[in-house]
Amino acid sequence: MTPRPPPDDSERSAGDSIGDTGSDMATPDGRALPAAREERGSQHAMHDVYRGALITVTAHQNARDAWIADVSISRDGRPMDLPAGLANVEPVTPEWLTEAEALRAGIEHGRYLIDRALGDSS
């Protein structure tokens, strides 16, 4: 998010924007800056401890508004070493309709990766 400039004593009200850009910020010479695009990412994270490893999942929306899970796995406070090629076992990253679905799927995928890295205990 772009920080707002310090308030000035001009006649502009808080809701006014500069020109047609939708921006409320200007360069020192008075030209309008383009409106900042809001990053549409997850406001939540899901954590799970599985076989001694911590799985952390966040989600973000892609250009089609579908949710994508971002999975990180750590063990003993350091990123877990996964065998080469194991982290990207799926040929296509799955997309989810809701953030909650993406978070749950990320936990499931993290458990799968841990089982593959440590050997399946079943």
- Looking at the fold, whether 58 and 112 belong to one and the same domain comes out as yes
Number of structural domains (the chain) is 2
Beta partners for 79?
Answer: 74
Residues 31 and 73 in one domain: no
Q: What's 80's domain CATH number?
A: 3.30.160.350
In angstroms, rounded to a whole number, what is the distance separating the alpha carbons of residues 80 and 20?
49
Say how far apart CA 4 and CA 12 lie, in whole Å: 14
Q: Are residues 64 and 114 in the same domain?
A: yes
Range of the domain at 26: 1-38
If asked whether residues 106 and 60 sit together in one domain, one would say yes
Q: Are residues 32 and 50 in the same domain?
A: no
Residue pLDDT tens, the chain, 122 long: 455 544 544 444 444 444 444 444 444 555 554 443 344 555 789 999 999 999 999 999 999 999 999 999 999 999 988 877 665 555 567 899 999 999 999 999 999 999 988 886 65
Rounded CA separation 78/74 (Å): 5
Kindly report the CA angle at 90 between 85 and 92, in degrees rounded to 5? 125
Q: How far apart are CA 5 and CA 20, in angstroms?
A: 19
